[in-house]
Amino acid sequence: WLLGHMGMVRSTEEGLQNVDNLVGQYHHCCVWWIAPWQPVLRLFHPDTLRPVLLASAFVAPKDKLFYGFLKPWLGDGLLLSHGRKWARHRRLLTPAFHPDTLKSYVGIFNRSTEIMHAKWWREAAGAPVVLDVFEPLALLTLDTLQKCIFSHDSHCQERPSKYIAAILELSALVVRRQQRLLHHPDWLYRLSADGRRFARACAAVHGFTAAVVQHRRRELERLGHQAWLEGHQGRSMDFIDLLLLAKDEDGRDLSDEDISAEADTFMFEGHDTTASGLAWLLYNLACHPHHQERCRQEVRELLKDREVEEIEWEDLSHLPFTTMCIKESLRLHPPVTAVSRRCTKDITLHDSHVIPSGTTCLLSIYGTHHNPSIWPEPQVFDPLRFSPENTQGQSPLAFVPFSAGPRNCIGRSFAMAEMKVVAVTVGCFVGVFPLSRALEGPRVLLKVLLCRRLSGSGAPGAAASAAGAGPQLQELHPQISQVIAVASSVAFSVESGSSAAPPPRPRGHRSGDPRAGSFSR
């Protein structure tokens, strides 16, 4: 009775199965108790999500219970701020995510993906090799974020970076703290080994961000506004530049502390979620080679007759099936599985029931995406769910991987653009297929075929090692001359040989409970 339903919380596949069971039994919502005095209303249907998600950010702000551990790291960035400060920052940051700004980032997405692909080739070295795809994808997203936010190239995909290592350590420590009740009190956590590591990593991240912001501020003050703008002609501005120039309706700009908090928030929110989404996309395409081949054909048709096969901003709207695959993967495996809100006023639901003021609501993105009353056969990967004819009349809140309402993810267009570029770039060169058997007990492995379009001799035995994995290798690309088979372990945990098992979870994917790392925007 003391811990309520906490015993049912699992940061594992079992935890998501519990969500599936709750959705199947209650359909719209249910109440959980995390202590005798602390109820949490769990919502997992568009009709029950709507009044809370679409309420004013003043009526349904973020719940501090689930986000407080991030405060020492992220400060008062968009994720954690509230009230007038949040509203002001949201207005000032919106231009930084305008399509005209995002357009300039596509080249960065392309180059960072090419670095990852070249690294895979070097690691393969002409022979089969086992790779964990989540780690290189996480480094890829961190690489692009550093370049887009700071115009800084740490070469983190190729060599260690103290700043990147600190971010990865902070992410892991926050998740671990959520899972350890004794580490919840701040004073006790500060005395622990994890707490000391967290403080050191925070200092490293804050030191890097503050140094960049202060240097740019000094340059702006030294040159003056007009000369500084003229110095940027011919090249795009990064996130820090845009925030330094931002002014509200009263002519006030953001402080250095504000800009640092927003940059740290963007680095945190933008790397793990996108990497997780990409890892799941590769997994789902591996399990469905016919969808994978259709994506490849779509990309091949788009890029044909080009001297440089590089995706451009205008191309992103001409990838209908690839986009459907990305959306279906985000439906089936949403990187952020839940968001929380705390009602400051009574909120009336669709059936006239009232959520009392002070109630904590856990809005289950995963539960909504797996609700059989909204999505028939929700465990099936079917990209055609998102075809124009199948989405007509569907509630916009049936699919909310980036949340919805006034506190939705401000970086959703950035994330989708990056996922499309990576999917297209990797899709031109890589075929992924599940092995017939797991090699290491209850693990699902992918076989990745790295395909080069350069002249020269092929790797001996590569074609033989890929036999039976999927389509004929020459069908992957008309100019393939070298293929290396790579077994890519994504650390999935599912009983070997069970085709009916629920989709497994790659390492680094956020859990089915917000206490295990599911953070909203």
In tens, the pLDDT along 352-387 reads 899 999 898 999 999 999 999 999 999 999 999 999
Query: What is the rounded CA–CA span in Å between residue 328 and residue 381?
Result: 7
Position 397 pLDDT exceeds 70: yes
Which residues neighbour 191 within 8 Å (Cβ) at sequence distance 6 or greater? none
Average pLDDT, the chain: 80
Query: What is the rounded CA–CA span in Å between residue 300 and residue 309?
Result: 9
Question: What pLDDT does 135 receive?
Answer: 86
Local structure of residue 510 (DSSP, 8 states): P
Average pLDDT over residues 414-435: 80
Position 231 pLDDT exceeds 70: yes
User: Do residues 319 and 299 lie in contact, with contact meaning Cβ atoms separated by under 8 Å?
Assistant: yes
Nearest to 355 by CA among 36, 35, 60: 60
Domains of the chain: 6-495 (1.10.630.10)
Helix 256-287 to helix 162-179 angle (10° resolution) is 80
Distances (CA, A) of 84 to 57, 76, 91, 327, 478: 10, 12, 11, 33, 57
Average pLDDT over residues 68-82: 91
190 phi-psi bin (left φ>0, alpha ψ -120 to 50, beta other):
alpha
pTM recorded for the entire structure: 0.84
- Is 12 or 110 the better-scoring residue by pLDDT? 110
Does the annotation place 287 within a ligand binding site? no
Position 452 pLDDT exceeds 80: no
Of 53-57, 142-146, 180-184, 231-235, minimum mean pLDDT range = 231-235
Query: What is the rounded CA–CA span in Å between residue 40 and residue 408?
Result: 21
Position 483 pLDDT exceeds 70: no
